[in-house]
Chains A and B, each alone.
Chain A
Amino acid sequence: MRTKKPSEADVIRQIHAYGASPRRWSSPSSETALLAQAGCDDAVAAALEQAGKLDRSLDHYQVHPRADVQALLRRLPAQAPPPAKDWWIESLKWFLPDDWRLVWRPALAGVVPVVFGFYLGQVVPVGDYEGLWGDDIPLDLIILSQNAPGLSWDDLLIEQGGGDE
């Protein structure tokens, strides 16, 4: 694969961003930048000199951390971190998406209307079903109608009411 030769502007941009040392430049262009430097022109040379000066100043800024590892270890929470999950939880994870929102959001979207429906059914009266059960429909009429296909409902009602007359 042929690498595209960097333009002068590309090289100058690298110098302005990362400084004069090619080892600090963004990795894909490091080699090409070296090539560019080998035959660099005045503009690149000027940018390199300017950036080199700033790099030398930046190198003066050194800090000295305490890096007290023992103090850090003393700060660690007393309890161990949560133990690694059981194998069956790990297996379960394999089936489920990484993002748990993809599971609980649809589940919640399905469950909430059902729960709300139950609640609504308990709170809001939607009809007098008890009154309907109170209607006097003799059970024996139904049984009779099923066992005596020759009889009509009228016959049965007359028979039922015959004792009253």
Chain B
Amino acid sequence: MAPREEQQLELNWVRAAARGDRAAFAELADRYLPRLERYALRMLGDPDTAEDVAQEALIKLWQLADRYDPDKSQLTTWLHRMTHNACIDQLRQSKRWAPLEGIDEEFTADANAGDDAARIAAAVRGLPERQRSALVLTYYQGLTNREVGQVMGLNTRAVESLLVRARQSLRRHLEEEK
């Protein structure tokens, strides 16, 4: 299906959800819940919290569906922004994140495991939150730099700058480990 048709289909589901149509909402949830949960999981690292955060974003969509304006933002951007804000709130509450320079216990444990996936997971989770958001949204979620800017409230230059710094930190860190 062409992207424009996809967007129209989603918009129809949102309009139906605004009228209380649970089946239409379920279609949206099928499409977006795994995606949003993946983002939250990479941001937070905890499956329970990630599931909760992603579900909350979609519950907000259910509650605010009648106010959604497709001219202002795409649905994917809107939902990612909700999830992103919830992730940032969670991170600030739990203070789980630590900058790459300050390696935490979890990071060390994963790094010692020697597994490639665990090493890169720990390295990504060790990035400062803004760099991690920019990297995860662009690399894993497939958002454009403009969409990432809308999610994070930044211009595209700032997004690019965060990406460059994030990749530099990761590269440096992975090289140091070897």
B17 touches A81 (CB 8 A): yes
| Chain A contacts for B34, CB-based, 8 A | 65, 67
Task: Name the residue of chain B whose CB is nearest to the CB of A57.
Answer: B120
Q: What is the number of contacts between chain A and chain B, taking CB atoms within 8 Å?
A: 114
- Taking a contact as CB atoms under 8 Å apart, the answer to whether A60 and B120 are in contact is yes
Q: Within the complex, what minimum Cβ distance (angstroms) separates B118 from chain A?
A: 9
Counting CB contacts under 8 A, is A51 at the interface?
A: yes
Contact A63 B42 (CB under 8 A): yes
Chain A interfacial residues counted at CB < 8 A: 35
Q: Given the complex, which residues of A lie within 8 Å of B84, measured CB to CB?
A: none
Shortest beta-carbon distance, B156 to chain A, in Å? 7
Residues on B close to A: CB < 8 A?
A: 17-20, 22, 25-26, 29-30, 33-34, 37-38, 41-42, 47, 50-51, 54-55, 58-59, 62-66, 116-117, 119-121, 124, 138-140, 144-146, 156, 160, 163-164, 167-168, 170-171, 174
**Cβ contact within 8 Å between A65 and B51:** yes
A84 within 8 A of B: yes
Q: Contact at B121–A54, with CB atoms within 8 Å? A: no
Known: A72-B59, A80-B20, A81-B65. A62 touches B117 (CB 8 A): yes
8 A-B pairs with CB atoms under 8 Å apart are A17-B163, A26-B144, A26-B146, A62-B117, A65-B33, A65-B34, A65-B37, A81-B66
